[in-house]
Amino acid sequence: MTQTHDALQVLRSRGYRVTEPRKRVLKVLAEAQRPVSPYEIQEILQQKGEYLNHVTIYRVLDLFCSLKLAHKVLLGGGFVRCTLGAEDGCHRFVVCRQCGALREYADKALCEEETAIAQEFGFRAEQHFSEFSGICSECMASARS
């Protein structure tokens, strides 16, 4: 709940209106237990008797991603709400390949290292994305028992 509330504050402070579609998509992301696609977001809303068209959902997700309120997960696809807030460094994910559990983290040193690599190639780094997969502690525990 606080997450949704904070996100609304971020929208307002950046000069964006808190519209009904934005509120609805935020709520779906906040309640989802795993990454959701725009199509799934539409379905979840429909179950609640609410309707948003695809174009609107995509536009809202684009805005949320640009404000770092949400992220697109590369492994498996779909969108998740941001769980970090204003931490230093780009937001990255580790994903459990068995159950899909997701952990978001930010590491400024990693960013600096990648920026240095880019510089060696004559690039200016702007944003870093990365994900790696593995097995989460719960899946490891249940495999052992």
Q: Is residue 65 involved in binding Zn ion (CB under 5 A)? A: no
For Zn ion (CB under 5 A), the number of binding residues is: 12
- Which span (11-19, 32-40, 45-53, 120-128) binds Zn ion, by CB under 5 A? 120-128
| Spatial separation of the C-alpha atoms in residues 120 and 70, rounded to whole Å | 31
| Spatial separation of the C-alpha atoms in residues 96 and 137, rounded to whole Å | 9
Q: Which is nearer to Zn ion, 38 or 64 (CB)?
A: 64
Binding mask 69-98 for Zn ion (x = CB under 5 A): -------------x-x-----xx----x-x
The secondary structure element, H or E, covering residue 117 is: helix 108-120
Q: Which is nearer to Zn ion, 29 or 45 (CB)?
A: 29
Closest CA to 107 of 128, 82, 81: 128
Q: Which tokens hold the place of 102? A: 């997701």
If DSSP codes are grouped into helix, strand and coil, which group holds residue 60?
helix
Q: Is residue 136 involved in binding Zn ion (CB under 5 A)? A: yes
Q: What residues line the site for Zn ion (CB under 5 A)?
A: 82, 84, 90-91, 96, 98-99, 101, 111, 128, 136, 139
